[in-house]
Amino acid sequence: MSKKEGLQLEKIRHSLSHLMSMAIIKIYPDAGLGVGPAIENGFYQDYGLPESISSELLPKLEKEIKKMILKNIKFEQHDMSFDKALKLYKKDPYKSEMIKDLKKAGEKKLSFYRSDWFENLCKGPHVASTKEIDPDAFKLTKVAGAYWKGDEKNKMLQRVYGVAFETKKELYQYLKQQAEAEKRDHRKIGKELDLFVFSDLIGKGLPLLTPKGSIIRQELEKFITEEETKRGYLRVYTPDLARLELYKKSGHWQHYKESMYPLINVDGEDYVLRPMACPHHFMLYNSRPRSYRELPLRYAEIARQYRKEQSGELSGLIRLMAFSLVDAHLVCRPDQIEKEFKDVLELIQYNMKILGIKDYWYRFSKWDPKNKKKYTNNPKAWQKTEKLMKEILDKLKLKYVEAEDEAAFYGPKTDVQVKNVNGKEDTLFTVQIDFDMPGKFDMSYIDEKGKKQTPMVIHRASIGCIERTMAFLIEQYAGAMPVWLSPVQAQIIPISEKFIKYGEKIKEMLLKEDVRVELNNDNETLGKKIREGEMQKIPYLLIVGEKEQKAGSVAVRDREKGDLGPMKTNKFIEKIKEEIEKKI
């Protein structure tokens, strides 16, 4: 899309939010108006209303907006003084506050837009007339609560969302695309392919992986542990629980308390479920004196960690109450940080290649000096560490976006960001440099001159949180996982009862070669079994009948390419083993 088209679309969307406000004011004359910008795919507007509205109101508003569009209402800009504007908004606390904020910010005058009888504080831009808006190219989609100024301490306003495009066709395409995306949703596929379930009795945000889902997880774990071991990581196991003392010392208790579970008191001593595994690994490091020759030490663990989320924040396998981070802590000398950081990024890039992840971007996540509560108070160290990370990223010529106030409490992060099927952004992988905790824990090594030094630590998640990564992969592949990750890699379908014996023989052959195989001897027609196999996204269906039995072969059906025809059984075993081996 060209810049000019983009601007026109923004004008249309923003103008629609004004028209929607007009429709709302017709119903609620004293409606307070919060913010109402154009956004990706549409627009929204916040309202302070005397009663809560439900989505049943949306069709009514839509009809009203359509009527207004057809009236060719003009949008005209004019300026207004602060006094006059405050008078105009004397019943609207939100607009009044905005005006006062603008004055504080040093604005000299206020920009208003008039459309028909509606005056609205707004800097635009807008369409010149509703003639430019296609009355059939927008749709109001949802109502939701949203805090005034985005702060949960403030009152909650009611937000109405709409989608809008230049033409009806584009709107239709967008809606169709949304419906397609819904089909890929990992929560839906998880149910259809029997990969994971939740139980009300076990509790929210606590998934149970079925045998099939467990295979996906196991394969991911096997892959990453082998890869990390090749790269010099040391596997460790540490407990999910620790004394509160540990987290007071690490700073988690001071900076991360809200995300930690309530204390568990045992015999007068407070314990807590770990929100992160870092201090546990540091205790391993501290278990004896260290020489500079030992570094870097790379402790790796697939560590279950527990973070108390607010219930509305949970989502399928993406946000959980307890999750498994493919975690590691690299204790380094300062002169080793750069190489280790680069190596971690290289590992992450390798993993993304293997997993087929292509749509991602890097985010350089920095502290916010104003957010005193969230971060360790050490501005010098923050500046130094952020500079160091930025230099490494720039040397690697990585493209990244910078994000304020997204760091960990102990240091800056480089995150790998992706969008899930519903268009929401999530962090998949992360690499962090910690200048803070090694000092707090008196971690040290003896350098070549016999002097005690404090090491630095890189925290990293090479394939992220394994549940979230599974969710992302399920959506990316719409359930059709690569052969090496498929819970069932091949299913044998005998054409009739007569060939079950032959099918069993084939099954034995495949099992011997570590292929995950099933024999479908249900009393069903061939067509039905193929349909079910396809819907279960099984990579290969092996149909066996008289021809195959005579020739010692299988008729291979590929889930994408369809019928591949007969193939000697040994040949097929070779083929599938190669695909599993090469992870294609």
Partner RNA sequence: GCCGACCUAGCUCAAUGGCAGAGCAAUACUUUCGUAAAGUAUAGGUUCGGGGUUCGACUCCCCGGGUCGGCUCCA
Residues within window 268-287 making contact with RNA, judged by CB under 7 A: none
**Residue 254 interacts with RNA (CB under 7 A)?**
no
Contact criterion met (CB below 8 Å) for 251 and 409 = yes
- CB nearer to RNA: give 130 or 365: 365
Q: Which stretch binds RNA (CB under 7 A): 47-55, 163-171, 243-251, 449-457?
A: 47-55
Which among 344, 360, 364 is positioned nearest to 352, based on CA atoms? Answer: 360
Q: Least distance to RNA from the beta carbon of 165, Å?
A: 18
Contact assessment for residue 84 and residue 72, using Cβ atoms and an 8 Å cutoff = no
Instruction: Please say which residue, 191 or 222, places its beta carbon nearer to RNA.
Output: 191
Residue 402 binds RNA, judged by CB under 7 A: no
Judge whether 220 and 356 are in contact, CB under 8 Å: no
Q: Does residue 431 belong to the site contacting RNA (CB under 7 A)? A: no
Q: Residue 472 corresponds to which amino acid?
A: F
- Report if residue 151 touches RNA, rule: CB under 7 A: yes
CB of 207 to RNA, least distance (A): 9
User: Binding string, 457-496, against RNA, x = CB under 7 A?
Assistant: ----x--xx-xx--------------------------xx
Residues touching RNA: how many (CB under 7 A)? 80
574: left (phi over 0), alpha (psi -120 to 50) or beta: alpha
From candidates 29, 50, 106, 150, binder to RNA by CB under 7 A: 150
Contact 446, 437 (CB under 8 A): no
Question: Per CB under 7 A, does 315 bind RNA?
Answer: yes
Q: Is 566 in the site for RNA (CB under 7 A)?
A: yes
Q: How far is the CB of 117 from RNA (least distance, A)?
A: 28
CB of 94 to RNA, least distance (A): 14
For residue 261, the one-letter residue type is: Y
Tell me if 497 contacts RNA by CB under 7 A: yes
Q: Decide whether 316 or 455 has the Cβ nearer to RNA.
A: 316
Q: How far is CA 54 from the centre of its chain?
A: 28
DSSP conformation letters of 139-195 = EEEEEEEEEGGG-TTSPEEEEEEEEE-SSHHHHHHHHHHHHHHHHH-HHHHHHHTT-
Q: Is 367 helix (H, G, I), strand (E, B) or coil?
A: coil
Please identify, among the stretches 20-28, 136-144, 163-171, 572-580, the one whose residues bind RNA according to the rule CB under 7 A: 136-144
Secondary structure (DSSP) of 452-512: EE--EEEEEEEEEEHHHHHHHHHHHTTT---GGG-SS-EEEEESSGGGHHHHHHHHHHHHH
* Smallest distance, RNA to C-beta of residue 495, A: 5
> How many H-runs (helices) and E-runs (strands) does the chain carry?
18, 28
Nearest distance, CB of residue 293 and RNA, angstroms: 33
Termini Cα distance of the chain: 35
Q: Which is nearer to RNA, 290 or 460 (CB)?
A: 460
> Which single residue is written with the structure tokens 């824990």?
441
Contacts (CB under 7 A) with RNA, residues 152-211: 152, 156, 158-159, 161, 187, 191, 198, 200, 203-205
Show contacts with RNA in window 505-564 (CB under 7 A). 522-528, 530-531, 534-535, 541, 543, 545-548, 555, 557, 562-563
Q: Which of 71, 91, 235, 424 binds RNA (CB under 7 A)?
A: 424
Interacting positions 362-391 with RNA (CB under 7 A)? 374
Instruction: Centre a 10 Å sphere on the Cβ of residue 558 and count the other Cβ atoms it contains.
Output: 11
Residue among 127 and 157 whose Cβ is closer to RNA: 157
The minimum distance between CB 32 and RNA, in angstroms, equals 14
Quote the least distance from Cβ 486 to RNA, whole Å.
15
Amino acid at 416: V
Query: For RNA, what does the binding mask look like between residues 319 and 358, x meaning CB under 7 A?
Result: xx--x-x---------------------------------
Q: Which two tokens stand for residue 18?
A: 């004004």
User: CB-based contacts of 516: which residues, under 8 Å, 6+ apart?
Assistant: 215, 486, 487, 488, 489, 490
Are the C-beta atoms of 466 and 472 separated by less than 8 Å?
A: no
Q: Provide the minimum distance between the beta carbon of 78 and RNA in the complex, in angstroms, as a whole number.
A: 31
Out of 25, 35, 144, 352, name the contact with RNA by CB under 7 A. 144
- Answer whether 270's CB lies under 8 Å from 264's CB: yes
Alpha carbon distance 480, 473 (integer Å): 9
Cβ proximity to RNA, 232 vs 423, nearer residue:
423
Distance (Å, whole) CA 418 – CA 223: 21
Q: Of 427, 444, 453, 454, which lies in the binding site for RNA, with binding defined by CB under 7 A? A: 427
Q: Which of 259, 286, 349, 454 binds RNA (CB under 7 A)?
A: 259
